[in-house]
Amino acid sequence: MLQGFKNYIMKGNVVDMAVGVVIGVAFGNVVNALVKDIATPLIGAFGGTPDFSGMTFTINNSKFMIGDFINSLISFLIISAVIYFAVVMPMNKVMEKIKSGKSEDPTEKSCPECLSLIPIKARRCKFCSAVIGK
């Protein structure tokens, strides 16, 4: 039972996923600091509110921390934009190239005698001189 668990944990995809989660959390912390320490004061400089985290409103003695929500929303938008522009768009372009590359007509074929690659329109192999049928 423990051997199976050890094999599962040592698989590459589990380790890769763990590394991705750790890097993702670290990246999230960097973005949260960026929002809290740079973006929010910049927005506050133009809008008049220097820090969103202190924004609250009260209904029936219940205090709603709307500022923390706004900071989290800005962090989410920044993280989403970075993931989209740095990961999703490049991967879509790579996938398009892969798909478009496979749909092209072949330019070479194999010689039936020597198995060398020759131009698709060739009627005789340039390596073994075998006559290639249509």
Question: In 3-state terms, what secondary structure has residue 51?
Answer: coil
Q: What is the pTM of this model?
A: 0.50
Q: What DSSP designation does 130 have?
A: P
Looking at residue 53, what is its pLDDT?
Answer: 75
Domain holding 17, by residue range, is 2-103
More confident residue, 45 or 113: 113
- pLDDT tens-digit map of 10-53: 776 777 888 889 998 998 888 888 877 887 778 777 777 666 77
Residues 41, 96 within the same domain: yes
Residues 78, 127 within the same domain: no
Residues 78, 122 within the same domain: no
Looking at residue 49, what is its pLDDT?
Answer: 63
Residues 92, 133 within the same domain: no
With residue 64 as reference, give the H or E element that holds it. Answer: strand 62-64
Cα–Cα distances in Å, from 109 out to 56, 85, 114, 121?
72, 40, 12, 9
Residues 123, 71 within the same domain: no
Residues 91, 42 within the same domain: yes
Residues 10, 65 within the same domain: yes
How many structural domains comprise the chain? 2
